[in-house]
């Protein structure tokens, strides 16, 4: 068991949220009034289904990657958002959320965890850029089919491949979630292939014209490992119970 205040401060410091400019608040988003945390449920998005699962598991805290209060989002607590927050209070479950700090963390972050899942050794953030794109150089060039097999084997789903480069892939980059726009950065870095979660109509043309293979592996699928790793870390450090709940999402 750990005090909520202590847990929040530790996560804020560990993920260095003050050093990262984000478009949502990171840290404690909803304080349901329970000061002592014994059970944590983690998940990707604070949807009603995830809140219901956290309630069923008797959680004191819900820890997610996608929380609430995004820039440009309607502020009134009405409709779906109002119902979700009401459910948290009714179940005495506080909500913590970490977005870009969890993407970028060198050990527990989504980009690091995806590299581990896909077997990319010596993965690291690109030396140039804003730190969001990670890069690995394969010891032996691989075909498009082999890269696709890495992704399907690691994530349990077939990626959408948009062709745009040479037949053999040596340098691979990635950024989890909705980062298809970084394909331009991938080209500037001289990468042969780029992996992200989502895809836009224009990505097809960019892949062809930039000469970079693009693999859309799913926003949810590429971002479920970081928050689970953070939950396991907190369970080990503070002796709390932790359960990751994977609410299926094809996007």
Q: Where are the domains of the chain?
A: 2-98, 110-219
**Computed from CA positions of residues 127, 130, 113, 204, in that sequence, does the dihedral angle turn out positive or negative?**
negative
| Whole-number Å distance between alpha carbons of 99 and 23 | 9
For residues 77-97, average pLDDT: 98
| Whole-number Å distance between alpha carbons of 18 and 29 | 15
Average pLDDT, the chain: 97
Q: Which residues have CB under 8 Å from 149's CB, separation 6+? A: none
pLDDT in tens, 111-166: 999 999 999 999 999 998 889 999 999 999 999 999 999 999 999 999 999 999 89
**Computed from CA positions of residues 75, 77, 78, 81, in that sequence, does the dihedral angle turn out positive or negative?**
positive
* Model confidence, pTM: 0.96
Q: How far is CA 44 from the centre of its chain?
A: 7
- Residue 27 pairs in a beta bridge with 97
> Percentage of the chain with pLDDT > 70?
100
Location of structure tokens 């500037």 = 188
- Is a pLDDT exceeding 90 seen at residue 189? yes
Beta strands 61-66 and 94-97 are parallel
Q: Output Rg (C-alpha) for the chain, integer angstroms.
A: 19
For residues 196-221, average pLDDT: 98
CATH architecture of 2-98: 3-Layer(aba) Sandwich (3.40)
DSSP symbol at 143: E
According to CATH, the topology of domain 110-219 is 3.40.1390
DSSP symbol at 34: -
φ, ψ at 143 (rounded to 5°): -80, 170
């Amino acid at each position: 068991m750990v005090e909520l205040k202590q847990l929040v401060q530790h996560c804020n410091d560990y993920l260095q949220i003050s050093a990262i400019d984000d478009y949502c608040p990171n840290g404690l988003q909803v304080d349901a009034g329970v000061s002592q945390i014994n059970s944590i449920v983690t998940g990707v998005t604070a949807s009603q289904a995830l809140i219901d699962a956290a309630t069923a598991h008797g959680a004191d805290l819900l820890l997610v990657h996608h929380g609430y209060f995004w820039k440009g989002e309607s502020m009134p607590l009405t409709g779906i958002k109002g119902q979700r927050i009401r459910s948290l209070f009714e179940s005495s479950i506080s909500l913590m959320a970490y977005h870009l700090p969890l993407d970028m963390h060198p050990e527990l972050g989504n980009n690091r965890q995806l590299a581990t899942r896909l077997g990319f050794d010596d993965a690291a953030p690109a030396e140039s850029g804003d730190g969001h794109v990670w890069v690995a150089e394969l010891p032996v060039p691989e075909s498009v089919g082999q890269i696709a097999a890495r992704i399907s084997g690691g994530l349990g789903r077939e990626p959408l491949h948009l062709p745009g480069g040479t037949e053999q892939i040596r340098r691979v980059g990635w950024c989890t979630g909705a980062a298809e726009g970084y394909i331009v950065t991938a080209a500037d870095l001289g990468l042969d292939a780029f992996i992200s979660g989502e895809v836009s109509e224009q990505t097809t043309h960019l892949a062809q014209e930039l000469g970079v293979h693009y693999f859309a592996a799913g926003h949810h699928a590429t971002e479920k490992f970081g928050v689970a790793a953070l939950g396991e870390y907190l369970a080990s450090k503070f002796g709390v119970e932790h359960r990751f709940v994977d609410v299926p999402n094809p996007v």
